[in-house]
Structure 1
Amino acid sequence: MGLEWPVEGRTMVSLFERILLFTLDDNPPPTFFSRLLADVAKMSQTVAITSAQHFTQVLNSSRIVVTDFYADWCGPCKAVAPVYEQLSSQLSRPGSITFTKVNTDMQKDIAQSYNITAMPTFLIFKAGRETKRIRGADPKALDAAVKQLAQEAATADEGGNAVESSASSGATWLGAAAPRNYPDITEQVDQLGLDFLNLDGEKGDKKTPFQPNRPSALADKKTVAGGPRNDWIESDTDEQLMLFIPFMCTLKLHSVHITSLPSGDSDSDDETPMRPKTLKFYTNRSHNLGFDEADDMPATQEIEIKPSDWDPKTGTAKVELRFVKFQNITSVVIFVESGDGEGEKTRIDRLRVFGETGEKRAMGKLEKIGDEQGE
């Protein structure tokens, strides 16, 4: 049987059709493979990372980034490469989903910084943060993970909120989009060292604001009725809260997102919890502050949240910090000095921290899965 070269404009599927036809043809055209590889290169939308700075730029410019860590000598890497290229061709969208590849022999610093110890390894990032890792040449797992992300991105592009779609994927819920260039680093909070003063013991505990899931108050009424009752924290004897938050490494803090969703079900305004209004931040304390102590001490930064700062859909306010004052941070004390309203208590559903982490993880020795160098 003879082979006809397809016209330009065919999708990536045609490349695999041609490979299949080649296996059935006893006399393929002499230029079959050279033209096939040329078409793959021409149609590929995968970004080859050339430096650590280049990789950072890509992570900051795309909502979702998929990265293939590979080596030229790795057989399994070559075997799964056509599947990866097909996904890249079908699902890449500027600013939304970007496929990248990192040659671990050429970019050893990047491979070490992400603790890549086997090849191929695929990392998936959302808002600059790693959310999934696939180790080895597993086309089915890769296909399923990437297509799920593509569906989430499509939902967000159609008018949904990207932070809402993250809740359905098992990733950390964000009440507002992460600031550009600064990912969510809430996972660095040392929850064993938390210390909250004037906390109502009948509501949530000190770990509640850092739960990764979406607040129950944003669910439908049926879910709320049968869901968790202590899904937020409230102040106890008055409106003030003192929150001591230590971190597991040194950070640079850019901003804090606070979610507060007072129900408004009470007939009395005095009984309805308020949203935080006046916040004072104190940095690098070895322990919590007393309320009188905080009154006598100058704050690193004082912020007043305006009613217009609260997102009407998620009940979240973005609190931007003076970045130059929040370098090399090991802990922060947030003093909720007053609430917005006439109530007697203040409510917080979620807290998210954004910025840069300090020391990197321990480096490992590179290995490969199912293939030996030189074979």
Structure 2
Amino acid sequence: MSATVGIASPQHLDQVLQSSRFVVVNFYSTTNSSSTQIAPIYERLSQALSRPGAATFAKVNVDTQKDIPAAYSVTELPTFIIFRGGKVADKITGADPARLQAVVKKLAADVENIGSSEGGGSAESWRGADLPRGYGDITSQIEVQRTELLNFDSSTGGVRVLFEASQPSALSGGETISTKDWVESDTDEQLLLFLPFQSMLKLHTLQITSCPPVDDEDAPKRPRTIKLFTNKPHNLGFDEAEDMSATQTIELSEKDWNALGTANIPLRYVKFQNINSLVMFVVDGDGDSNSEKVRLDRLRLIGEAGEKREMGKLEKIGDEPGE
């Protein structure tokens, strides 16, 4: 699954800029040979360096999004613009892999500096509940490009929105059809989420935010029963998750959700030491709604992160034959 965000509108770009400290945007055209040539290199950089709330890689098709390239004076393809804190920090024109790699490697160092605070999480990431004393937000340890979410309604947000650093739009009064920064289940109330990690984690708490509309008899429900499985090499099937003994089973009720729609779920810490992946199975929903759907807005992992694994062959990207 690609880690690169395809920008669908100027408003979508604004949302991405607000939700991530660093954003790299590739302005391209499918009919431009230079854009096509450098696209695989950009995709590999995106997969290696994307971090929720810290670094986001995006792309704008100039053939379908005319207003965005005009706003940033893009006249040559491809053009790469690096944003820091929502403002333009650097601009690269043309298919120049060496310069793109040099700028992005500097960006990678800045991202790692952010990740070193609060046990590897982003200090500025929105959370719906306080951190337990002595622990940090380690959501940035999720290897986003390898996550998998099963049985979600594709008309709502994809799996990446669960880890966005921004406050859910439902809490800021900005929820619209075009925003959809949440996930809903599709054919029934169940969801299966696979989360691989960049390092071994000691997981202390899950913070799950669910903000379905109130006073709507057809609104999706909040999760009720959740089963957690640790150290799985890939996602489970629904029948498998139903039958398998879970590392921990959680039963939520209305009293567990705070005013921000967040359930602060303590885990059996001894069972969540040294884990490299987590499967979260939402079994059913809670509430009087007529809907057979469950909604998730945000997910935060709280605990301690071990040593990060090496960035791999990032330094060699662009050095292969033909690049």
Please state which band the TM-score falls in when normalised by the shorter chain: 0.5 to 0.7
Q: Which residue of 1 aligns with 2:265?
A: 319
Highest Rg: 1 or 2?
1
Residue pair 2:188, 2:293 contacting (<8 A) in 1 also: yes
1:255 aligns to 2:205 (yes or no): yes
Q: Deviations over 1:63-106 (max 9, x none)?
A: xxxxxxxxxxxxxxxxxxxxxxxxxxxxxxxxxxxxxxxxxxxx
Change (3 A) 1:249 1:304: same
Residue pair 1:127, 1:178 contacting (<8 A) in 2 also: no
Q: Deviations over 1:218-253 (max 9, x none)?
A: 113xx335x852110000000010111111111011
Q: Quick one: distance in 2 between partners of 1:128 and 1:329?
A: 15
**Local SS of the residue matching 2:159:** coil
TM-score by length of 2: 0.57
Question: Which of residues 265, 280, 305 in structure 2 aligns to 1:357?
Answer: 305
Q: Which residue of 2 aligns with 1:17?
A: none
TM-score by length of 1: 0.49
Q: Quick one: distance in 2 between partners of 1:302 and 1:124?
A: 30
Q: Deviations over 1:8-60 (max 9, x none)?
A: xxxxxxxxxxxxxxxxxxxxxxxxxxxxxxxxxxxxxxxxxxxxxxxxxxxxx
Change (3 A) 1:130 1:307: closer
Q: Displaced runs of 4+ in structure 1, greater than 3 A?
A: 122-131
**Local SS of the residue matching 2:126:** coil
What's the offset of the Cα at 1:125? 9.0
Q: Quick one: distance in 1 between partners of 2:121 and 2:240?
A: 39
Q: Deviations over 1:135-168 (max 9, x none)?
A: xxxxxxxxxxxxxxxxxxxxxxxxxxxxxxx8xx
**Which structure: greater strand fraction?**
2
What's the offset of the Cα at 1:264? 2.6
Question: Which of residues 228, 235, 238 in structure 1 aligns to 2:185?
Answer: 235
**Local SS of the residue matching 1:224:** coil
Q: Quick one: distance in 1 between partners of 2:309 and 2:198?
A: 12
Q: Quick one: distance in 2 between partners of 1:253 and 1:177?
A: 16
Q: Which residue of 2 aligns with 1:88?
A: none
Matches within 5 A, 1:25-44: none
Question: Which of residues 331, 336, 344 in structure 1 aligns to 2:292?
Answer: 344
Question: Which of residues 200, 203, 207 in structure 1 aligns to 2:156?
Answer: 203
1:293 aligns to 2:244 (yes or no): no
Matches within 5 A, 1:1-375: 171-220=124-173, 223-225=174-176, 228-264=178-214, 266=216, 269=217, 271-312=218-259, 314-342=260-288, 343-359=291-307
Q: Quick one: distance in 2 between partners of 1:124 and 1:209?
A: 18
Opposite residue 242 of structure 1, the aligned amino acid is: L
Q: Quick one: distance in 2 between partners of 1:123 and 1:250?
A: 19
What's the offset of the Cα at 1:305? 1.1
CA RMSD in angstroms, aligned pairs only: 2.4
Q: Quick one: distance in 2 between partners of 1:209 and 1:123?
A: 20
What's the offset of the Cα at 1:299? 0.3
Opposite residue 275 of structure 2, the aligned amino acid is: I
Change (3 A) 1:194 1:274: same
Q: Quick one: distance in 1 between partners of 2:189 and 2:302?
A: 26
Q: Quick one: distance in 2 between partners of 1:293 and 1:338?
A: 16
Q: Quick one: distance in 2 between partners of 1:196 and 1:255?
A: 21
Q: Quick one: distance in 2 between partners of 1:207 and 1:242?
A: 14
**Local SS of the residue matching 1:331:** strand
Opposite residue 243 of structure 2, the aligned amino acid is: D
Identify unmatched segments of 5+ residues in structure 2: 1-108, 311-323
Q: Quick one: distance in 2 between partners of 1:265 and 1:229?
A: 21
Opposite residue 213 of structure 1, the aligned amino acid is: S
What's the offset of the Cα at 1:359? 1.2
Q: Quick one: distance in 1 between partners of 2:118 and 2:308?
A: 19
Change (3 A) 1:275 1:172: same
Residue pair 1:216, 1:228 contacting (<8 A) in 2 also: no
Q: Quick one: distance in 2 between partners of 1:123 and 1:211?
A: 15
Q: Quick one: distance in 2 between partners of 1:124 and 1:294?
A: 32
**Local SS of the residue matching 1:207:** helix
Change (3 A) 1:210 1:130: closer
Q: Which residue of 1 aligns with 2:33?
A: none
Query: How many residue pairs are counted as aligned between the two chains?
Result: 197
